[in-house]
A and B are shown apart, each in its own frame.
Chain A
């Protein structure tokens, strides 16, 4: 079971805003779904790939990209070939 405080904490982690008046209902629905997920506790690993997972690498290839002008017409704020974004550092 998660509490409304837990849900708010996850929402902050996920950068999702939840309205205060929906928090109780949202928590109830969230718990019902998590309760359904409990069935996963019964899963026994019956099949495991031999050798595990590994990365397959290839050489980079230069291929044509989208026209810069067209792509830069999409953001609301661009300047001299760059896209302006909110500041990340305080």
Chain B
């Protein structure tokens, strides 16, 4: 497949970093379907930059497992999509290749970090895309662009070939316009791969019945609390009401660990990032270092040239959280908080089948609107709990506020990816 930079005019939303030419011609469940692939998923012979200057000129010598799987089913790679550098952001503004625009309103962000994948689907450039979700990076852009996105359970999709940012939290997952298409892509990419040691052998068995009779939906008060736009909250309550009309019952519940889930998430992901990103040293691939200089000088120079500001901030935060004297205060506490989040979910799931709430606390904000890093982090408050606990979560469009899409988030018990898609499908059919 021939790779090239997107031509002016054929990518009005800056969704792609690289476009690929050549028609998909294979046989299989994805025969003839061009799939957009997020640029942190390795593609043999096609540049993979992670939205970063530090990987300029790097073309992987192998395919990620998910890429092999979609190609074996007859799909083609439409191109590599734009993203926040190494997945660090919620707006796709932190890319070395410029921001992606939201096809619904190009003055607004598409969400992130898989913003290019979501925009490519929402704009009709591809029917399906692959993204990755560390703290909401599939669900946030799906919600902001008005499409469907699934963060699979931890261990349900192989991470082999995904450029690591925060291994204990992230998963590759599908984005598409309908739940059925998301389910189809999930079916293809969830095949067991022993090269990811955290993966279990559990074939994905979709059951899109459209039925929710007898389903118990937990609705935690904290998902509708402070910081959540009341108009968004109302839209989501109406959506849950539709599932109730279809025969589901609503169980009000509470998730006290939400008070510190976001802090636990940011301490954990920055700590993991500070270690993971040390591999970009300019020695084996990417931006070249000056080998005449001593190691630390050369290493520092490559990182200064190659990493954007948000990446440097997160490496610094992670280094700080892991440093002697602060480890107990930040990292150890964050892990205790993470266990409490999992325990809260386990307790709620004793009485309900799924949990529902908004995906994002607001609709898509304007490009350039959030300049303060903390305010950007706060937009992840409703998506990070699922990553901390490793549970499946899907975002499905549930109407608009001021002409901008709102996402309904459905979270499920660990490994019950089929169930969250079944509920999302029922909702989608119910409002048709």
Contact = CB atoms under 8 A, between A and B. Distances in A.
Given A15-B296, A74-B61, A75-B285, A39 B260 contact: yes
Contacts, number: 131
A40 B343 contact: no
Contacts of A50: none
Nearest to A86: B298
B376 to A, nearest CB: 11
B251 to A, nearest CB: 22
A47 B343 CA distance: 7
A37 B263 contact: yes
Contacts of A62: none
A79 B289 CA distance: 16
A36 B407 CA distance: 27
A70 B372 contact: no
Contact of B316 (A30, A37, A44, A77): A30
B263 A36 contact: yes
B61 A40 contact: no
A88 B340 CA distance: 43
Contacts of A29: 313, 372-374
Given A17-B300, A17-B303, A37-B330, A7 B343 contact: no
Given A40-B337, A77-B291, A14 B315 contact: yes
Interface stretch (B114-122, B142-150, B317-325, B416-424): B317-325
Interface in B271-310: 274, 283-285, 288-301, 303-304, 307
Interface in B51-70: 58-59, 61-62
A71 interface: yes
Contact of A40 (B288, B317, B323, B329): B329
Nearest to A14: B319
Interface string B318-353: 011001000001100110110110110000000000
Interface string A77-89: 1000001111110
A40 B263 contact: yes
A36 B342 CA distance: 21
B355 interface: no
A43 B388 CA distance: 15
Given A11-B316, A36-B374, A88 B304 contact: no
B266 to A, nearest CB: 7
Given A30-B317, A32-B374, A33-B266, A83 B260 contact: no
A27 B313 CA distance: 10
B333 A43 contact: yes
A67 interface: yes
A42 B52 CA distance: 37
A66 B337 contact: no
B62 A86 contact: no
Contacts of B307: 16
Given A14-B274, A14-B316, A47-B340, A40 B330 contact: yes
Contacts of A87: 291, 294-295
A50 to B, nearest CB: 13
A80 to B, nearest CB: 16
Contact of B340 (A33, A34, A43): A43
Interface in B366-400: 372-374, 377
B172 interface: no
A40 B263 CA distance: 7
Nearest to A77: B291
B292 A86 contact: yes
A6 B323 CA distance: 12
Contacts of B264: 40, 43
A90 B307 CA distance: 26
Nearest to B60: A74
A45 interface: yes
Nearest to B337: A43
A41 interface: yes
B29 interface: no
Given A16-B315, A30-B313, 8 more contacts: A17-B301, A17-B303, A32-B372, A37-B263, A42-B260, A45-B336, A74-B58, A86-B289
